[in-house]
Structure 1
Amino acid sequence: MSIDECKKRLAELSKGLAHPMRVEIVSMLENKPPEEKCVCGDIVNALPLAQSSVSQHLKVLKETGWIQGEIHGPCVCYCTVQGIMEYYLALIKRSLKGE
């Protein structure tokens, strides 16, 4: 990956974390065991936001590559993309060093 591609991807991922509630959602999902994926309702109940606002934040996180969702009946179970945190930190390091 070229440095320009690296910076572009870093900017995309950073957009995903550009709101405190999205940081909170990623933190919630990162700190759950993989077998305990969150259902959208669980996330809504844990945050001081309306369901529609939580859904919008989940959409941004999914579009920017932070989370993935699986449909299970009427529910969607969300988890962070495996290795995304390490990848993000590596992009920061590479972009700042200009490698």
Structure 2
Amino acid sequence: MYLLEEMGEVMLMLAGALVAAILISWMSWTLFKLVRHPEWGPCLVLLGLMVTMWTRSSSSPFLQTTAFFTAVTAMICWGEGDAWRARRAAPPMAGSDTAS
């Protein structure tokens, strides 16, 4: 029974950390998309994570797991931010329908 409780706790911690990481990444993306620089969001999130992990090296496993998942999603969003700006800056193609 103890093993099932531990496994349940670990699974809930992983799920909660993943949800928290997704929300952190989405909020940073949305915030910096307003100023048309969404690629800055992951950089600042990674910087914040580094400072947090440096100052609180003995933090909880939940914070460490959230930091890991946030770092992974920030790296994914970093490249997408550059692509997003390139798509926004590119002029529309000739003959394309801009109404859709």
Richer in strand (by share):
1
Query: Who wins on radius of gyration, i.e. which is larger?
Result: 2
With normalisation by structure 2, the TM-score equals 0.32
Richer in helix (by share):
2
Which structure has more RCO (C-alpha within 8 Å, separation ≥ 6)? Answer: 1
